[in-house]
A = this chain, B = another copy of it.
Amino acid sequence: MEITTKGIDEFVVKVLSEVGRSLVIDTTKNKLVDTKKDRNDLVTNFDKSTEQFVVSMIKEAYPEATIVSEEGFGDDVQSMDGLVFFVDPIDGTMNFVKRGDDFASMIGVYLDGKPFIGGIIDVMRNKIFHGGPNYGIFCDNEKINLPENKALIDGLIDISAPMALNNYLNTQEVVKNSSGLRVYGSAGIIFEHLLLGKEVMYMSYLAPWDLAAGRVLCEGAGLSVTSVDDTPVNMLKSQVVIAGTQNVVSEVLKTVKNCD
């Protein structure tokens, strides 16, 4: 299939719609829950079946693409050349299992290393955020109002609980200079909050599939996404990421650097 932003965008929306329809029903079912790295790193049968479905859809539509995915049904990708899909079948699996809300499914698409199209479905609200740079950022069929370039003092921020509790790189100073801390527990849901201007900064240790779609959408919406050492993010490894308004990210980087 020819690679166009419109074509990929429509494909991502179509796949996420089907994923969302299925996951809404899955929240009501018994889940087979297993752990990965530790007691609170969960995976369910639905993470796996969703990823298998998304990977098979991508392979059918874009057989030349490579796929980076959370549960291992994708490829062993070593290069960002060509068309690369990042798949997070259920982002916020803990929320999916314990709450039945505030979880997402995400697909990020990169072309020769550059952000191309991203898609995030907030499953229980049935909203799909999608689009990319030079294309526009949409919620379902409507272009979103781009978030204001707010300052830290004017906004709520979301930091992963372990980082905030351990005052990692002086993050408690960042909290003190903001309107307050929130912890929602799903990167996809928090990227949604950034796009809608509900929060002004997110900091967490993210794997490529946690970050890929959100980075495309944030950059397309004029937000800033950087690694915590102020170098560009590397899409083939896990890293601590700061995403937010230009003003907030530059202020947070200063606080974090003072910690060295």
- Taking a contact as CB atoms under 8 Å apart, the answer to whether A161 and B181 are in contact is yes
Q: Residue A99 at the B interface, CB < 8 A?
A: yes
Bound-state CA distance A154–B39 (Å) is: 10
Which residues does A use to contact B, with CB under 8 Å? Answer: 39-40, 94-95, 98-101, 153-156, 161, 164-165, 167, 172, 175, 179-185, 193, 198-199
Give me 24 A-to-B residue pairs in the complex whose CB atoms sit less than 8 angstroms apart, sorted by A's number.
A40-B180, A94-B179, A95-B156, A98-B154, A98-B156, A98-B199, A99-B193, A99-B198, A101-B198, A161-B175, A161-B180, A161-B181, A161-B183, A164-B165, A165-B167, A165-B175, A165-B181, A180-B185, A181-B183, A182-B183, A182-B184, A182-B185, A183-B183, A184-B184
Chain B positions within 8 Å of A180 at CB level: 40, 94, 161, 185
Question: Considering the chains assembled together, what is the distance between the CA atoms of A156 and B161 in angstroms?
Answer: 12
Q: How far is the CB of A34 from chain B (nearest CB, A)?
A: 15
On chain B, the residues within 8 Å of A155 by CB distance are 98
Closest 9 A/B residue pairs (Cβ): A183-B183, A161-B181, A99-B198, A98-B156, A182-B183, A165-B172, A182-B185, A40-B180, A98-B179
Known: A99-B193, A99-B198, A165-B165. A156 touches B179 (CB 8 A): no
Question: How far does the alpha carbon of A177 sit from the alpha carbon of B155 in the complex, in Å?
Answer: 30
User: What 13 new A-B contacts, CB under 8 Å, besides A94-B156, A165-B172, A183-B183?
Assistant: A94-B179, A98-B154, A98-B155, A98-B199, A99-B193, A100-B198, A101-B198, A161-B175, A164-B164, A164-B165, A165-B181, A182-B183, A182-B184
Partner of A99, one of B153, B156, B175: B156
Please give, as numbers and ranges, the residues of chain B lying within 8 Å of A181 by CB-CB distance.
161, 165, 183
CB distance from A192 to the nearest CB of B (A): 11
Bound Cα distance A167, B164 (Å):
11
**CB-CB nearest in chain B for A100:** B198
Chain B nearest CB from A210 CB (Å) reads: 16
Complex CA distance for A95 and B199, rounded to whole angstroms: 10
Q: List B contacts of A198 (CB < 8 A).
A: 98-101
Q: Shortest Cβ distance from A157 into chain B, in angstroms?
A: 10
